[in-house]
C-alpha cells in the first residue's frame, strides 16, 4: 500500500470550502481515497449503505477483479489452485502467505489431522438441539461454544495462541459439520480417522456408520476438495466483514467464526446454494423455465434467479466455470448425466445468458449455481449445503481475522449513521399517552 501524490478534492458548495484527500494505491486494482480525517475536517460523515464504494481494510490475501472475472489468492489464480493444489495447500497459502514446500505441507497436514477431534463434552451440546434443527443453527452454536473449551489459545495478542486457534478451527470444522448432519438423522457420530485426507475424512464422517464403512470414491473426494478450495476465501464479503468487525473488538476467534457462520446463512450469501436447489426443484421441468425468467425480471415480484448475480462479479464468476466442469465429472462418475435438475440448470443458464435483462445487468451464474447439484448428486442433503460452504470459508475467515489483528491500522469497527428519527420530543407520562 503506498500513498501517491494524487489527491481528491471535496468542495462544499454551500460555503465554498475545499479539502484535499490523499489517494492510496494497492499493488493492483482500484486505488482508495483516504477519508479517515473527513469527519474531523468537514463535520460530515460519508453515506454508503451496503459498502458498495467503501474499502474497510487493507488486505494482501485475496484479489478479485469483478469485471474481468479474476480471483487470486496471494497472487495465484484460482484456476491453478483448483487444478493443482489440495484444500490444505490452499489453506496454508491463505494463512501463511506462501505455498508450502513438501516438508511444510506434510507438517501442516499432520497438525491439522491431530486437531480434528472435538472435546468429548461438546457432544452434549448437540443433544440439546431439536432433531429437526437446521445444521447451520447447530454449527453456529457449537463453534461459538468452542471458546468455552479451548481457553489455552484465547490470548489474541499472542501469535502462537492465534496459530493454535487457526489450526483448531480448520481441523474441527469437518467434524462439527458432519456431526450436525449425523445428529439430524439420528445416527451415531463417526470420529475422524487420521489416515484420511481432509475431504475424505469429511465424507466418511458424513456417510459411514458403525455398522458399515463408507467406500470413498476418489472422484467424489477430489470434487469435494475442489469445492472446498473454490469456497475458501472471497475478500471482504458479508461474512468475512462480519468476522473482522466482530474481531475488531478483541473477541476470541471462535466467537468471530460463529458470527461469520450466522452471516453466511442468509440466502443472499452462502444460503444461495440451498436456494438454487429449491428453485430448480420448484421449476420442475424445462418447460417452466420461461415463466421463472419472467418472474425474475418482474419489478413487482420479489423472486430472483438464485445462483445468478454477484455484488463484485459483473462477468462470469471464475469459480462457477470450474464448478460446472466438476459437476459434469461427478455426474459422469455417478452415472447421472441425465439428472433432470442438471438439465433444468443448464437450460436456465443458457436462456438467462441470452436474455437482455440478465445481459444488461451483467447477471452471470455465481459459484452457488452448480455446487448444489454436485452436493445433491453426492447424497448430501440440501440443509447441509451452506454448512459445507462455512466449513471451507472458515479458512478464509480465520486468515482474514489473523491479518486484521496484525494490522497496525486496525481499530474497533464503528460505522456512523444518517439519523432520520425524531430530533427531540417532549416526554409524555404513561397516564397521558
User: What nine digits make up the cell of 91?
Assistant: 489453506
Q: Tell me how far apart the alpha carbons of residues 243 and 72 are, in angstroms, rounded to a whole number.
A: 21
Q: How buried is residue 68: exposed, middle or buried, by Cβ count under 10 Å (0-12/13-18/19+)?
A: exposed
269 a catalytic residue:
no
Q: Of the two residues 304 and 328, which places its CB atom closer to ligand CMC in the complex?
A: 304
Q: Which of 167, 234, 310, 317 is catalytic?
A: 310
Counting every residue written for the chain, the total comes to 433
Q: Tell me how far apart the alpha carbons of residues 276 and 217 are, in angstroms, rounded to a whole number.
A: 26
Short-list 352, 353, 351, 388, CA closest to 368 = 388
With contact defined as beta carbons under 8 Å apart, do 256 and 243 qualify? yes
With contact defined as beta carbons under 8 Å apart, do 235 and 59 qualify? yes
Q: Of the two residues 198 and 369, which places its CB atom closer to ligand CMC in the complex?
A: 369
The contact set with ligand CMC (CB under 6 A) reads 237, 268-270, 272, 296, 304-311, 361, 363, 366-368
User: What nine digits make up the cell of 325?
Assistant: 466442469
Smallest distance from ligand CMC to CB 211, Å: 37
Smallest distance from ligand CMC to CB 358, Å: 7
Smallest distance from ligand CMC to CB 28, Å: 21
Pairing status of strand 32-33 against strand 2-12: unpaired
* 166 C-beta neighbours (distance < 10 Å), count: 25
Non-local CB neighbours of 350 within 8 Å, separated by 6+ positions: none
Smallest distance from ligand CMC to CB 68, Å: 17
Q: Which of 225, 233, 317, 368 is catalytic?
A: 368
Q: Of the two residues 246 and 366, which places its CB atom closer to ligand CMC in the complex?
A: 366
Q: Of the two residues 204 and 231, which places its CB atom closer to ligand CMC in the complex?
A: 231
- Which residue, judged by CB position, is nearest to ligand CMC in the bound state? 309
Q: Of the two residues 227 and 296, which places its CB atom closer to ligand CMC in the complex?
A: 296
Residue-wise DSSP of 48-61? -GGGTT------SS
Q: Tell me how far apart the alpha carbons of residues 208 and 40 are, in angstroms, rounded to a whole number.
A: 61
Smallest distance from ligand CMC to CB 207, Å: 26
310 a catalytic residue:
yes
Catalytic site positions? 310, 368
Amino acid at each position: 500500500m503506498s500513498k501517491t501524490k494524487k489527491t481528491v478534492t471535496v468542495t462544499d458548495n454551500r460555503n465554498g470550502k475545499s479539502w484535499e484527500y490523499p489517494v492510496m494505491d494497492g499493488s493492483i486494482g482500484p486505488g482508495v481515497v483516504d477519508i479517515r480525517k473527513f469527519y474531523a475536517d468537514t463535520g460530515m460523515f460519508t453515506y454508503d449503505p451496503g459498502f458498495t464504494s467503501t474499502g474497510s481494510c487493507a488486505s494482501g490475501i485475496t484479489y478479485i477483479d469483478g469485471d474481468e472475472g479474476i480471483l487470486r489468492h496471494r497472487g495465484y489464480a484460482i484456476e491453478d489452485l483448483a487444478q493443482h493444489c489440495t484444500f490444505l495447500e490452499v489453506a496454508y497459502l491463505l494463512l501463511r502467505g506462501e505455498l508450502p514446500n513438501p516438508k511444510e505441507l506434510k507438517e501442516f497436514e499432520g497438525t491439522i489431522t491431530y486437531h480434528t477431534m472435538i472435546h468429548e463434552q461438546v457432544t452434549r451440546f448437540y443433544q440439546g438441539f431439536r432433531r429437526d434443527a437446521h445444521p447451520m443453527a447447530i454449527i453456529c452454536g457449537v463453534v461459538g461454544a468452542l471458546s468455552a473449551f479451548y481457553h489455552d489459545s484465547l490470548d489474541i495478542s499472542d501469535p502462537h495462541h492465534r496459530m493454535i486457534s487457526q489450526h483448531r478451527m480448520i481441523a474441527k470444522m469437518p467434524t462439527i459439520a458432519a456431526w450436525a448432519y449425523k445428529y439430524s438423522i439420528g445416527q451415531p457420530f463417526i470420529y475422524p480417522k487420521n489416515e484420511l485426507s481432509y475431504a475424505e475424512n469429511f465424507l466418511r464422517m458424513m456417510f459411514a456408520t458403525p455398522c458399515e464403512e463408507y467406500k470413498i470414491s476418489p472422484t467424489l473426494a477430489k470434487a469435494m476438495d475442489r469445492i472446498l478450495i473454490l469456497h475458501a476465501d472471497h475478500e471482504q464479503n458479508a461474512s468475512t466483514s462480519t468476522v473482522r468487525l466482530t474481531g475488531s473488538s478483541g473477541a476470541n476467534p471462535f466467537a468471530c467464526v460463529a458470527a461469520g457462520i450466522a452471516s453466511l446463512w442468509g440466502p443472499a450469501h452462502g444460503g444461495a446454494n440451498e436456494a438454487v436447489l429449491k428453485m430448480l426443484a420448484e421449476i420442475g421441468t424445462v418447460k417452466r423455465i420461461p415463466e421463472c425468467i419472467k418472474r425474475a425480471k418482474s419489478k413487482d415480484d420479489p423472486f430472483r434467479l438464485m445462483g445468478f448475480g454477484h455484488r463484485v462479479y459483473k462477468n462470469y464468476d471464475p469459480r462457477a466455470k470450474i464448478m460446472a466442469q466438476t459437476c459434469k465429472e461427478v455426474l459422469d462418475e455417478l452415472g447421472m448425466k441425465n439428472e433432470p435438475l442438471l438439465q433444468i440448470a443448464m437450460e436456465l443458464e443458457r436462456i438467462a445468458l441470452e436474455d437482455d435483462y440478465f445481459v444488461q445487468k451483467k447477471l452471470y451464474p455465481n459459484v452457488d449455481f452448480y455446487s448444489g447439484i454436485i452436493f445433491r448428486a453426492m447424497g448430501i442433503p440440501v440443509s447441509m449445503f451452506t454448512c459445507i460452504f462455512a466449513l471451507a470459508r472458515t479458512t478464509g475467515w480465520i486468515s482474514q481475522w489473523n491479518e486484521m489483528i496484525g494490522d497496525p491500522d486496525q481499530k474497533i469497527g464503528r460505522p456512523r449513521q444518517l439519523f432520520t428519527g425524531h430530533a427531540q420530543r417532549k416526554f409524555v407520562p404513561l397516564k397521558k399517552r
